[in-house]
A and B are shown apart, each in its own frame.
Chain A
Amino acid sequence: DAMVIQNPRYQVTQFGKPVTLSCSQTLNHNVMYWYQQKSSQAPKLLFHYYDKDFNNEADTPDNFQSRRPNTSFCFLDIRSPGLGDAAMYLCATSRDVGANEQFFGPGTRLTVL
Chain B
Amino acid sequence: AQSVTQLDSQVPVFEEAPVELRCNYSSSVSVYLFWYVQYPNQGLQLLLKYLSGSTLVKGINGFEAEFNKSQTSFHLRKPSVHISDTAEYFCAVSEIYGNKLVFGAGTILRVKS
Contacts and interface: CB of A to CB of B under 8 A. Distances in A.
Nearest to A104: B43
Interface in B42-69: 42-46, 49, 51
A99 B43 contact: no
B10 to A, nearest CB: 10
Contact of A31 (B32, B43, B99): B99
A85 to B, nearest CB: 19
Interface residues of B, number: 23
A101 B49 contact: yes
A51 B43 CA distance: 22
A43 interface: yes
B102 to A, nearest CB: 8
Interface of B: 4, 32, 36, 41-46, 49, 51, 90, 94, 96-101, 103-106
Interface of A: 4, 6, 31, 40-45, 48, 50, 55, 57, 90, 92, 97-99, 101-107, 109
